[in-house]
Amino acid sequence: MFEKSRTEGRVDYYEQIGMSNVYDTIYKSKHEFIIIRNSDKPVFLPIPRKDYLQQLLTDVEDYKNKELAEAKMEYTPANEAANKARFDEELKRIDNAKNSTPEQMAPYRKRFIETWETEKQKYDKRVARLMTETTGAKDVLLEYLKKPEDWLKRSFPNFYGYSSYSSKGMKQYLDGLDNFPNSRDVETRTYVATLNPNYYNKSLGAEVPQLIMVHLPKGTYPHMQKVSKLVNIPGALKPLENILSQDLHPSEQPVPVHTSSYSVSYLSKLTKLKPLTVPADMKPSVVAVNPAATSPTSKFILISLFP
- What does the alpha-carbon distance between residue 307 and residue 304 come to, in Å, rounded to a whole number? 7
DSSP, collapsed to helix, strand or coil, labels residue 84 as: helix
- Is residue 34 included in any domain, yes or no? yes
- Is residue 306 included in any domain, yes or no? no
CA 47-51-55 angle, to 5 degrees, is 120
* Amino acid (1-letter code) at residue 263: S
20, 56: one domain? no
Q: Is the pLDDT of residue 215 over 60?
A: yes
Looking at the structure of the chain, the number of domains it has is 2
26, 133: one domain? no
Which residue, 178, 210, 236, sits at the end of a domain? Answer: 178
65, 170: one domain? yes
Residue 242 φ/ψ, nearest 5 degrees: -65, -30
- Is residue 261 included in any domain, yes or no? no
Task: Convert the pLDDT of each residue in 149-199 to its tens digit.
Answer: 999 999 999 999 999 999 999 999 999 999 988 888 778 888 999 999 999
- Is residue 267 included in any domain, yes or no? no
- Is residue 188 included in any domain, yes or no? no
What pLDDT sits at residue 301? 39
Mean of per-residue pLDDT scores for the chain:
83
127, 111: one domain? yes
- What does the alpha-carbon distance between residue 35 and residue 215 come to, in Å, rounded to a whole number? 9
What pLDDT sits at residue 213? 94
Q: Pick 133 or 107 by higher pLDDT.
A: 133
Q: Following CA atoms 176, 177, 183, 189 in sequence, which dihedral angle do they give, to the nearest 10 degrees?
A: 130
173, 224: one domain? no
What domain range includes position 206?
4-43+196-248
Q: Is the pLDDT of residue 252 over 70?
A: no
By percentage, how much of the chain surpasses pLDDT 90? 43
130, 201: one domain? no
102, 158: one domain? yes
124, 200: one domain? no
What pLDDT sits at residue 268? 73
User: What are the beta bridge partners of residue 281?
Assistant: none
Which residue, 178, 207, 223, sits at the end of a domain? Answer: 178
Nearest alpha carbon to residue 60 among 2, 5, 141, 128:
141
pTM score: 0.66
